[in-house]
Structure formats: C-alpha cells, structure tokens
Chain A
Amino acid sequence: MSGLAVAGVSHRFGDLPALRAVDLVVEEGEVHALIGFNGAGKSTLMRAALDMLKPDAGTVEVLGVEVARAGPEVWGAVGHLIDTPFAYPELTVRENLWAAARLHGVDAGEAHGAADRVVAALELEPWAERRAGTLSLGNRQRVGLASALVHDPRLLVLDEPTNALDPSGVVLLRELLLAAARAGTAVLVSSHHLDEVARIADRVSVIHAGSMVGELDPRGSDLERAFFAMVHEADRAARR
C-alpha cells in the first residue's frame, strides 16, 4: 500500500488549468520531492491530495483509502504543513503542540508527552512557554513542522517546509524527514531548493504548468541543469 496515490487529477480555477491529469505515487518509507516553478501546481496538487479541494477529475487515495471515504482513523495518520503553520498566536508553543496532538487524535493522556517530544525534536525549548504570536517567522515555521509531526504520521505532506528556516533549522528538518522515512513514513515535500532536494529525496518529480513532466535522479550530477532542460522541453512540446 502506498502512502499517497494520485491518478489522473485535473483541476481548473475558472479558465486557468491548475492541474492536468496528474499522476503521483508516494511510497511508504520514501521521501518524494515535488519541484517546479511558482504557480506550477505543487500546492494545488497537495491540497487535492489532502481533500482541501475537490479536483474536477481523477482520484486520490491516502493510505489506501479514497479521500472521499477517509475518516478520522485515516486522517489521524496524516501530518501536513500547507500554507500557514498551525500556530495560534494566543497559545504558547507547548499549548499549540498539545492542541495539534489532540486534534490529530492523540489521547488526552498522551498529548502533553507528545508535545514535549516534538518541542525537543524541533529544538523549541527556549520558546516553549512563549506565545506563538511573539515568535519569529522561522520559529513559527518550526512550530508548524512540529505540529505536523506530533502524532507520528504515516503520511507527511509538506509544502515548502524550509520557508523562513535558518540553516540550522534546515539541517534539523532534513534529519527529521530522513528519520521519519526510515521509520516507514511516506513523505511528500515540495520545494524549489534543488540542492536541498538532492540531499533528502529518494525520488524527484517535476511539475510544470499543471502537468507532471518527468522525474529527475536526485543523485544526478547537475540537478538544476536537468530540471531546466526538462521544463524547457515541456514548453517546446506544448508549443508544437
């Protein structure tokens, strides 16, 4: 069973095609990177994968269950950071993570322990008792990442997770994602930092103008050159 299986997903925003018959599979235990320019369709695809929008066509399965039929037991095994970190400004960092744990289905008796674990994992101890509204953007991003991880999900979907992170935060995130994948979690991560992708991804899919245009070898010698070549070829093919 794959962590995430997207088949033939298309979606339009009015006249603008956002996704065109996109296929994507993220296997358990793999880090699958999704790369593309701004507006290529990365975030829209992730939103469709998480039932945040209903695509016009195609199917999405999360942990082997079609999203329309997925209930709390399925979503309780999914972690995500899309758009904005889970960080209510009036709550402290620890309270936010407790709240995220509870909403993700962690029992009341275990939620405080789960929050404490991710506070340590994301090195948030110095800010744990501070209100999230007082945090820097980078630390708020760490809180969002901790919220996505607090319930040990089996599928992790992260949209541009390195946004606002300092270099130590990027390294920390890299280690956490690799550890999650080693533990069997299916990880889908979008990025346009190709060097970062090369360090963590088992597979790299390229999305361009709403279409999946191919895969790149993350161990290849020049990922950037290969990415641009693939995108330009897709543009040429579209013009023909």
Chain B
Amino acid sequence: MSAAYAVEALKLRRSRVVLVATVALALVPAGMARAFLAAAEQGGNDPASLKAQAMLPGPGWAGYLGGLVQIYATAGVVGVGIVVGWCFGREYADRTVVSLYASATPREDVARAKLVLLTAWATAVGVLVVAVALVVGVVTGLGVPDGEAARAVGRVALLAVLSGLLALPVALAASRGRGYLPAVGGLLVLVVVAQVATVAGAGGWWPWSAPAVWAMGPEAGMPEVPVSRLLLVPLVALVGAVATERWWRRAEVG
C-alpha cells in the first residue's frame, strides 16, 4: 500500500468520528424506520401514528423498507458528509495540512487516498445498513422477506451506496473553505436544495435527490426515474473528486 493510503487508512481506523458515524448510520435509520412502521401499524389517531401512516408506502417489509429509503436518503448524505467534511476540514482546522507540504508524498496523492478510502468506507456502510435493516426486520417480527421485499432491499442497498458518493463533493467545500464549517454549510445546501428540487418536481433530475426519488418509486407517489439516470451520481462524485485533488495540488498554505 502506498504511503498516502497507509497513513490515511490508519487515521480513519483511529478516528472516533468515523466509528460514531458508522454505528449511527447502521443503527439509527433502521431503528427509526421500524419505529415508524410500528406507529403506523398501531393505526392510532395521534400525530406520530398519522404521520407514520402517511409516510410509509404500506405494511410489513414494504412499509419498513420504504421508510428506510426516505430516512437514509437524507441521513446517508448527512452522515457520510460529516465524515468527509471532517476528514478534509480537520487538516485545515488543526493546521496539519502545513506538514503535508514539502513532502515526498504529493498532497494530491493524500487527497486521492482520502477520497478513495472514504468511498470504500461509505460503500461498506451502505452494505452494513442493509444487513442491519434485515436483522432488525426479522428480529422484530416482520418474518422472512418475500420476493418484493428482496427487490426493495436491492433498492435500499443501491441508495445507500449512492448516498455515500453524493457526499464526496463536501470535500471540496471543506478544502476551499479550509475547515469544518464550510463543509457543514455545503452539506446543508446539498440537503436543502435536494428537498426543494423534489418538491418542485425536478427531484428525478437533480443528482442529490434522483436516487431517493428512484428508490421510493411511483408506489410512494414519486415520478418514475430510469436507472440510467443514476449515473449522474458517480459523475458528480467524480467531478467533485477531481476538483478537490486539483485544489490540493495548487493551493498555498493559507
């Protein structure tokens, strides 16, 4: 393993931010989706039950996984985005970036190693989310998933992986803004614009909302989104990654 990958992998392994985000992303959305399903299936007239009934596309696995899609579409981008923002922004906030100049390892190699490792981590978290969701569903009495549920699981898995990719451009905000706060600001902009695009009917075209609209599907009242349009996601991730690497190669110490 090259020096940049070896060092960045060690930093990620030792990071409490990464550990907390991994546990939170794996447990909280699945737990919330199951709680919403329980509230919906109670059929009560209290605000929580009514909200859950309106939100979920149906009972059982379909409702549970539909809820998980809606929750993870935002939680995934926010959770992964926080880690991406921390990973890049901390180098500026802690001033450790100065030590990365005048080094045998070019700074763009360090940035690339961060991006590749974060992509691998976000993908692994996406797979973990699905595994945990299945365990939560089975353990809490939803039974063995049927064929339709299996297809929904596939949608959740792809959404989870794509949500990780959609958070990568936060690295550019953290780098150009030289800290955590610009990363948080960039993340908020991404999430808010995705919501606005969905409400305005352009959610199927905006890269940061298209995967959620596709995953929720017409059964949740969303427009049909062809799978091919999801290629927008790796495209914006790649553009963000290239721009970030370029910044790291050229930027002077601030």
Contacts and interface: CB of A to CB of B under 8 A. Distances in A.
Contacts of A147: 99
A136 to B, nearest CB: 17
A16 to B, nearest CB: 16
A54 B14 CA distance: 35
A142 interface: no
A54 B252 CA distance: 7
Taking residues whose C-beta sits less than 8 angstroms from the other chain, chain B's interface range is 20 to 34
A103 B4 contact: yes
A221 B101 CA distance: 39
B7 A103 contact: yes
Taking residues whose C-beta sits less than 8 angstroms from the other chain, chain A's interface range is 35 or more
B140 interface: no
B201 interface: no
Contacts of A99: 7, 10-11
A99 B1 CA distance: 13
Given A91-B10, A102-B6, A102-B7, A72 B104 contact: yes
B3 to A, nearest CB: 4
B42 interface: no
A157 to B, nearest CB: 8
A225 to B, nearest CB: 35
A17 to B, nearest CB: 17
B105 A105 contact: yes
A-B pairs, 7 with minimum CB distance: A105-B104, A76-B104, A84-B95, A86-B99, A102-B3, A52-B253, A50-B102
Interface of B: 1, 3-4, 6-7, 10-11, 14-16, 94-96, 98-106, 110, 252-253
27 contacts: A50-B101, A51-B101, A52-B98, A72-B104, A72-B105, A78-B102, A82-B98, A82-B253, A83-B253, A84-B94, A85-B99, A87-B96, A88-B94, A88-B96, A90-B16, A99-B10, A99-B11, A100-B99, A102-B3, A102-B6, A102-B105, A103-B3, A103-B4, A103-B7, A103-B100, A103-B104, A105-B104
Interface of A: 47, 50-54, 62, 72-73, 75-76, 78, 80, 82-91, 95, 99-100, 102-105, 108, 144, 147, 151, 157
